């Protein structure tokens, strides 16, 4: 079963913790905004995405598994 990475940009501070954990999924660019590089990463990235979710200080990242 797949999943989709969801970011609440109103909460996101673009502190790049998620990018440090899962750089294949998240990127904070020079404009200081977070970009999701892959909204539907494979199962091989799930553990890193979950760690990103748990480490986000604003809890701005979630998964949609519907």
Residue 1's pLDDT band (boundaries 50, 70, 90)? Answer: low
Residues, the chain? 66
Spatial separation of the C-alpha atoms in residues 66 and 27, rounded to whole Å: 25
What the block records as the tokens of 38 is: 């892959």
- pLDDT per position as a tens digit, 15-32: 999 999 999 999 999 999
* Beta pairing partners, 4: 64
User: Residue 18: CB partners within 8 Å, gap ≥ 6?
Assistant: 25, 26, 34, 52, 55, 56, 61
Domain ranges of the chain: 4-64
| pTM beyond 0.95 | no
Q: 4-64: what fold? A: Alpha-Beta Plaits (3.30.70)
* Beta pairing partners, 61: 7
């Amino acid at each position: 079963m797949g999943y989709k990475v969801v970011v609440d940009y109103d909460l996101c501070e673009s502190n790049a913790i998620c990018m440090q954990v899962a750089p294949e999924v998240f990127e904070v660019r020079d404009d200081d905004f977070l970009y999701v590089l892959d909204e539907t990463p494979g199962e091989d990235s799930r553990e890193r995405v979950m760690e990103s979710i748990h480490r986000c200080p604003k809890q701005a990242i979630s998964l949609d598994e519907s």
